[in-house]
Amino acid sequence: HKKVEKICCLGAGYVGGPTCAVIAARNPHVQVTIVDLNALRIAAWNSDDLPIYEPGLDEVVKSCRGRNLFFSTDVDKAIIEADLIFVSVNTPTKTQGMGAGFAADLGYVESATRHIAKVAQGDKIVVEKSTVPCRTAQSMRFILEANARPGIHFDILSNPEFLAEGTAIADLMNPDRVLIGSLNTEAGRSAAASLVDIYAGWIKREQIITTNLWSSELTKLAANAMLAQRISSINALSAICEATGADVDEVSYACGLDTRIGPKFLKASVGFGGSCFQKDILNLVYLSESLHLPEVAAYWKQVVEMNEYQKKRFVNRIISCLFNTLTGKKIAILGFAFKKDTGDTRESPAITLCKYLRAERANVAIYDPKVAESQIWMDLTEPGITDDLAKLQKQISIADSAYAACKGADAVVVCTEWDEFRNTRLDYRKVYEMMNKPAFIFDGRLILDQKELESIGFHVEMIGRPRGNFETSMQWE
């Protein structure tokens, strides 16, 4: 099989950037060029202030940028030079037309594919890195073959990415597995072997799995659906805990000790967010429906519905604890990112929460250590949420510290599990002093020490633990 010397990646996003930076770092003899249509993004990748925040990313990029790693807007040149091309463009949920709200918008994948066909002057291995519906590789092949110059041969591989944000570099350096799907033909197997060689630069061979194309495409949707399903399962149980006096952390710990269940991904929360889970499950729902499998579709759809329910339930608890009215009350939102150690806010539960709190006419003060202020305004003014920035700014403010957000607040709501919100890091005595009384604190991430906060004087409400006044009514033993 062919030895890859030059790689190009279309799309310098959360996946393309870190993935190909690690490939370059671990394959010093391979030239890697990451291109994007967005010139601002490329300029940021070439600067000291990278466009995304990931622990360890700066070091990896700095170790090989300008040596064998390049960021460029010259898409044509990078395609022409490359032996292997990753397609790592965005595949958002369609917002209109057939399948709106469910199906993946494959417009960016198709235009990237057409771009490759148009400019390629020799044979290429084209790798789907984007998360796509099952059988997208077939459409890509069709488009490539219909538009290519005569005599040019394309091999298409599926190589889904399993990295999670916030731990992207660690996940890429030490993945559970790498999955490569190909056609079961000689050409297909040989293209797969070329890509295996790249990953073998730092990953053990036995962790590099090769399958057929459709299994590989489906595995990505399946893995995300199963991970999200675990969170919805524990969140569904958190509602039972709150109503009965069970403690969801104890339930999750005891269940997780069963080696068949395992301890990971069983942390109850205000709901899962991130760019992938909801999008990929809805994509799977749409796929099931188009295959005339309505029961299968309904099964997976419930994972997303449970997540919506969890966010709504949390807000209802805030409202009912605050004496059924939030009008004019100040609510401090600690954390706006969808999880800690990332500045990404896509599908963050905090966005939904702020929307609900606004509808209750609360005054909301938001603090997040990594999310840019402009990003928060953009998220809260998305069409369908609200489009009037001036009106929004009367109700919502952005604070530059947790203390500033909590000053004069009636309630503090932890939405993201940033370490700096833990009892050991934030001075909750100081927070208590500066709040209106009674001072409420709602922990949507189960990171706070309830007993200690109560001893300060807070009224504490935790996901998956009984209501503050519940314990006393339970002391019948």
Distance CA(309)–CA(49), nearest Å, equals 38
The amino acid at residue 474 is: M
Half-sphere exposure of 17 (CA within 13 A, CB side): 23
Residue 91 Cα distances to 13, 63, 343, angstroms:
12, 30, 20
CB of 18 or CB of 369, closer to ligand NAD? 18
14 touches ligand NAD (CB under 6 A) = yes
Q: Which residues are annotated as a binding site?
A: 11-16, 36, 41, 89-93, 130-131, 161-165, 220-224, 260, 267-273, 276-279, 338-339, 346, 445
Tokens describing residue 433: 């002093």
**Interacting span for ligand NAD (CB under 6 A) from 20-28, 82-90, 382-390, 457-465:** 82-90
Choose the contact partner of 267 out of ligand UDX, ligand NAD, none; CB within 5 to 8 A by kind. Answer: ligand UDX
Identify the bridge partners of residue 82 per DSSP, sorted by sequence position: none
Nearest alpha-carbon partner for 274 in 327, 350, 200, 220: 350
Minimum CB separation of residue 61 from ligand UDX in Å reads 19
Give the Cβ contact number of residue 328 at 10 Å: 10
Choose the contact partner of 224 out of ligand UDX, ligand NAD, none; CB within 5 to 8 A by kind. Answer: ligand UDX
Phi-psi region at 372: left, alpha or beta (left = phi > 0; alpha = psi -120 to 50): beta
Pair 395, 364: CB distance under 8 Å: yes
Q: Which residue is nearest to ligand NAD (CB)?
A: 13
CB of 164 or CB of 434, closer to ligand UDX? 164
Distance CA(248)–CA(266), nearest Å, equals 9
Q: Which residues bind ligand UDX (CB under 6 A)?
A: 161-165, 224, 227, 231, 265-267, 269, 272-274, 276-277, 338-339
Choose the contact partner of 38 out of ligand UDX, ligand NAD, none; CB within 5 to 8 A by kind. Answer: ligand NAD
- Residue with token string 């006419």: 361
90 touches ligand NAD (CB under 6 A) = yes
| Residues in region 92-131 near ligand NAD by CB under 6 A | 108, 111-112, 115, 130-131
CB of 4 or CB of 337, closer to ligand UDX? 337
Q: Which residues are annotated as a binding site for substrate?
A: 161-165, 220-224, 260, 267-273, 338-339, 445
Minimum CB separation of residue 163 from ligand NAD in Å reads 6
CB of 27 or CB of 159, closer to ligand NAD? 159
Burial of residue 66, with CB atoms counted within 10 A of its CB: 0-12 exposed, 13-18 middle, 19 or more buried:
exposed
Nearest alpha-carbon partner for 218 in 178, 275, 160, 276: 160
The answer to whether residue 276 is catalytic is: yes
| Active-site pick, 20, 276, 354, 415 | 276
Choose the contact partner of 192 out of ligand NAD, ligand UDX, none; CB within 5 to 8 A by kind. Answer: none
Site string for ligand NAD, 19-58 (x = CB under 6 A): ----------------xxxx--x-----------------
The amino acid at residue 461 is: E
Q: Which residues are catalytic?
A: 276
Residues that bind ligand NAD (CB under 6 A): 10-16, 35-38, 41, 75, 88-91, 108, 111-112, 115, 130-131, 161, 163, 165, 275-276
